[in-house]
Structure 1
Amino acid sequence: MWLGALERRLLERILAPPPKLLFRDRQLERALELIEDGASFVVYGSVGTGKTTLALTAARGLEGIVYASCASARTYSALRSKLLKRATYYVVDDYTMAVREPRLKGLMRSLEPKAVIVYPPVEAYEELEGLEKIEMQPYTLEELEDICRERAARLALAVDDEDVRAAAKAGFEHGGNARVALIVLAERTAANLQNYAAWRS
C-alpha cells in the first residue's frame, strides 16, 4: 500500500508537463504561429509522443482556454456540455475516443479556433479536413534517455543511470512512448526508495 501511494505521488510529479518540451522545437514553433494567427490545427501521433503536452504548452499563457478530453466525455452530449463556453481557444484531446456521429462532426466543425489531438490515420476524420496537421514522431531511444535524465535531475529522483536506461528502453520498446518510459522511471524510483527505507530500518 505504501509503495502504491508513493508511486502515485511520483507519477503525478513525473508526468506533469515539463517547463520545456524536449525534442519538439519545430512542432511547438509551428503551433505557436498557428495560435497567434487564430488558426485551427490538428496534432497527431502515436501514444506517448507529447501531443497533449504540445497543445497545452503552445496555449499556455492564453486566457479563456477551454480543454475537453474525449477519454472522459466520449458522447456528443458530454462533449458539448464541456464546450458550451466561449473560448479564445478550444483544445479537444483524445478525439479518437469520441463516439462517431453526425452531430459530433458538426460540433467539431463549428469550434473555432481549436487544436484537436488524434491518433493516426488523421485522414479518417473528414470533419478535420483542411486543417494544418502537426505530426509527432515516436521518440528515439536516445531522446527517451534524455527525457528521463531531465526528469530525474529536475525532480531529484532517487535513480541512477541504469534506471534511466531501463526506463528509456521500456518506452522505446512500446513504440517510442515517453509516457511508458516515465511510468517505469517512477516505478524504479519508488522501488529504490523502498529498498533504502528497508535498509535504514
Structure 2
Amino acid sequence: MWLGALERRLLDRVLAPPPKLLFRERQLERALELVGRSESFVVYGPIGTGKTTLALAAARGLEGVAYVSCASARTYSALRSKLLKPAAYYVVDDYPMAVREPRLRELVRSLKPKIVVVYPPAAAYEELEGLEGIEMPAYTLEELEEICRERAARLALAVEEEDVRAAAKAGFEHGGNARVALMVLAERAAANLQRAAALRA
C-alpha cells in the first residue's frame, strides 16, 4: 500500500503541467497570438506531445474558459450541457474520442472562439475546416531526455542519469511520447525510494 500511494503521489507531481513547456516555444507563441485576437484554432499531434498542456497554457489568465474533455464526456448530451454555457473561450480536449454525430459536429462548429485538441490528420474533421492548425510533432530522444532531466531536477526526484535515459528511451519507443517517459521516470523514482527505505530498515 505504501508503494502504491507513493507511486500515485509521484505520478501526480511528475505529470502536473510544468511552469514552462519545453521545445514548444514557437507553438505557444503562435497560440497566444491567436488567443489574443480571439481566434479559433486546432492543436494536433500524436499522443503525449503536449497538446492539452499547450491549449491550457494559451488560455491561462483568461476569465470564463470552458474546458471539456471528450475522454470523460463523449456524447452529445454530456457535452452539450458544458458547451452551451457562455464562455470567453472554449477548450475541447481529446475531440476524436467524442461520438461525432451530426448534432455534436454542428455544436462544435458553432463554438466561438475555441481551441480544439485532435490527433492527426487534422483535415479529417470537416467541422474544423478553415481553422488554423498548430502542429505538435513527436519529441526526439534528446528532447525527451531534457524533459525528464528538467522534471527530475525541479521536483528533486530520486533518480540518476541512467533512470532519465531509460525513461526517455521508453517514451521515444512509444512514438516520442513525453507522457510515457514521465510515467516511467515516476516509476523509477518510486522504486529507488523503496530500495533506499529497505536498506535503512
Q: Under TM normalisation by the shorter chain, which class is it?
A: over 0.9
Q: Secondary structure at the match of 2:167?
A: helix
Q: Deviations over 1:45-80 (max 9, x none)?
A: 000000000000111111111100000000001011
- Partner of 1:157, secondary structure, is coil
1:58 maps to 58
Equivalent residue, structure 2, for 1:196? 196
* CA distance in 2 between partners of 1:4 and 1:134 (Å): 38
CA separation in 2, counterparts of 1:35 and 1:84? 20
- Map Cα deviations across residues 85-141 of structure 1 (whole Å, 9 max, x no partner): 211110000000000200001100111000000011111100000000000000000
Rounded to whole Å, the distance in 1 between the matches of 2:3 and 2:119 is 33
The DSSP-based 3-state class of the residue aligned with 2:175 is coil
User: Which residue of the partner structure matches residue 70 of structure 1?
Assistant: 70
- 1:10-159 matches, within 5 Å, as 10-159=10-159
Q: Which amino acid is the alignment partner of residue 152 of structure 1?
A: A
Deviation by residue 1:158-200 (Cα, 9 ceiling, x = unmatched)? 0010000000000000000000000000000000000001000
Instruction: Indicate the SS of the match to 1:133.
Output: strand
Distance 1:9 1:177 in 2: 21
Partners of 2:64 and 2:182 lie apart in 1 by 30
Q: Take 2:13 and 2:68, find their aligned partners in 1: how far apart are those partners?
A: 22
Runs of 4+ with >2 A deviation:
none
Distance in 2, matches of 1:173 and 1:81, equals 39
CA separation in 1, counterparts of 2:112 and 2:74? 20
Q: CA RMSD in A?
A: 0.6
SS at match of 2:53: helix
Rounded to whole Å, the distance in 2 between the matches of 1:7 and 1:82 is 32
Q: Which amino acid aligns with 2:158?
A: A
One-letter identity of the residue aligned with 2:166: A
What SS does the corresponding residue of 1:134 show, helix, strand or coil? strand
Shift of 1:5: 1.2
Partners of 1:65 and 1:155 lie apart in 2 by 29
* Structure 2 unaligned regions, length at least 5: none
Partners of 2:153 and 2:33 lie apart in 1 by 31
Aligned residue pair count: 201
Aligned-pair identity (%)? 82
Q: Distance in 1 between matches of 2:19 and 2:73?
A: 28
